[in-house]
C-alpha cells in the first residue's frame, strides 16, 4: 500500500486522525463525510494513495468500485433516500479538494438541492448514528 505522509485520507486510513467508520476491508475504507451534502453522505477511499482516478491501479479501482456499490446498497436500505448521487472529482478545476482518490455516496431526497460537498460540519453523534444504521444494513 503506497501512502502519503501529508495526505489527510492516508492519515485517516492509518488511524492517525479519527473518523466515523462505516466499512473497511483490505483495500478500502468507508467513513462519514464530516461536512455532508446530506445526512448519510459517506466517502469511500482506496487505502493505497493515488491522487485521482488517472493514477489508480486497476486492482484498487475495482476494489473501490465494489465497495461503492455495496455501501450504496446499504445506504438505500438503511436510509431509504429517493436517489443516491455517486460522484468523484479529478483535479481542483473539477472540484476535487482532497487529492486522494475517493468517491462520494450521497443520499438524496426528492426536491432536495445539494452540492457534492457540504458547507457546515455535522454533529458527531448524528454521524455515528447514521454510520451505525448503514453498518447494520451492510450486515444484513
CA–CA separation, 120 and 37 (whole Å): 9
Element (H, E) at 66: helix 58-79
Q: How far is CA 45 from CA 49, 82, 110, 112, 138, in A?
A: 9, 24, 27, 26, 17
| Assigned C-alpha cell, 4 | 502519503
Instruction: State residue 5's pLDDT score.
Output: 84
Instruction: State residue 52's pLDDT score.
Output: 97
For this structure, is 102 an active site residue? Answer: yes
Catalytic residue among 27, 41, 100, 102: 102
**Average pLDDT of each block of 10 consecutive residues along the chain (140 residues)?**
81 96 98 96 97 97 98 98 96 95 96 74 94 93
Instruction: State residue 140's pLDDT score.
Output: 74
Question: CATH number of the domain at 8-139, please?
Answer: 3.30.428.10
| Assigned C-alpha cell, 120 | 457546515
Instruction: State residue 119's pLDDT score.
Output: 75
Instruction: State residue 2's pLDDT score.
Output: 60
Amino acid at each position: 500500500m503506497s501512502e502519503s505522509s501529508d495526505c489527510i485520507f492516508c492519515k485517516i486510513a492509518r488511524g492517525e486522525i479519527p473518523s466515523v467508520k462505516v466499512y473497511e476491508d483490505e483495500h478500502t475504507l468507508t467513513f462519514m463525510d464530516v461536512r455532508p451534502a446530506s445526512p448519510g453522505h459517506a466517502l469511500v477511499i482506496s487505502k493505497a494513495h493515488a491522487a485521482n482516478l488517472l493514477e489508480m491501479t486497476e486492482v484498487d479501482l475495482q476494489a473501490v468500485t465494489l465497495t461503492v456499490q455495496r455501501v450504496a446498497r446499504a445506504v438505500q436500505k438503511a436510509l431509504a433516500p429517493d436517489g443516491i448521487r455517486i460522484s468523484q472529482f479529478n483535479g481542483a478545476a473539477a472540484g476535487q479538494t482532497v487529492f486522494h482518490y475517493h468517491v462520494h455516496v450521497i443520499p438524496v431526497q426528492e426536491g432536495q438541492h445539494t452540492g457534492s460537498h457540504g458547507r457546515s460540519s455535522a454533529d458527531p453523534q448524528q454521524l455515528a448514528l447514521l454510520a451505525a444504521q448503514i453498518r447494520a444494513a451492510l450486515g444484513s
